[in-house]
Amino acid sequence: MIARPEGGPRVVVGIDDSTGARCALSWAIGEARLRRLPLLVAHAAPLPPHVSAAGQLGCGITDALRGSGAELIARLLAEVCDGPPEGVEMTALALVGEPGATLVRLAGDDDILVVGHGSRGPFSRLLRPSVRLHCARRARATLVCVRPPAFDTLLECLTARDASPGHVPDRSRFRRLGRRLRLAR
């Protein structure tokens, strides 16, 4: 368990390299800023099955997983808010372990646990269990599942930005988008 300032609540967000995780990180930063709570950004990488079966934990694999997790956290923070968020006390952790169980252990009773909501097929869920469902079943913290914006919302944002004065519209983007919509039907 990570020590908390004055033992108070905090916002704990679990991230990976997905759209849902980026949205969850953005939401968690805003919530921590709004409520003036510390933010804990955590990435948990599971051990590959061949490593855990062979018991080769001392061969540098855990250090490599932690290093890649720290790089992922830094990259996502740069993408979402151009580096560490201003006005928010933040701690970043790159851990090795099952993501759902790790997040449940990190989040205390009075914390806000934030996870992304992805869309995966049944075969993918069979290979990798859902972190969101694991947290929903076992977490004692308040759980917030952040879903990526719908396609219609993204289209409205593009249209609003393109309607702003002084903006030169890029018609080719909308033509490609229209073709994709017609092909998807």
**CATH number of the domain where residue 142 is located:** 3.40.50.620
Q: Which domain holds residue 33?
A: 10-120+129-149
Does residue 72 form part of some domain? Answer: yes
Q: How many CB atoms lie within 10 A of CB 54?
A: 10
Rounded alpha-carbon distances, angstroms, from residue 154 to 67, 100, 124, 159, 160: 33, 29, 26, 9, 10
**Cα distance between residue 106 and residue 25, in whole Å:** 16
Half-sphere exposure of 107 (CA within 13 A, CB side): 27
Q: Which two tokens stand for residue 126?
A: 């069979």
Per-residue pLDDT of the chain (185 residues; tens, 9 = 90+): 454 556 789 999 999 988 889 999 999 999 999 999 999 999 999 887 776 555 555 568 888 999 999 999 999 999 999 888 999 999 999 999 999 999 999 999 999 999 998 776 676 666 667 888 889 999 999 999 998 877 666 666 666 655 555 555 555 454 555 555 555 54
Q: What is the pairing mode between strands 90-96 and 112-116?
A: unpaired
Tell me the HSE value of 109 on the side-chain side, using a 13 A CA sphere: 1
The number of domains in the chain is 1
Each residue's pLDDT tens digit, 95-148: 999 999 999 999 999 999 999 987 766 766 666 678 888 899 999 999 999 988
Residue 140 counted as domain residue: yes
| Strand pairing class (142-146; 39-45) | unpaired
Q: What is the pLDDT of residue 61?
A: 83
User: The whole model's pTM is what?
Assistant: 0.75
Report if residue 60 sits inside a domain.
Answer: yes
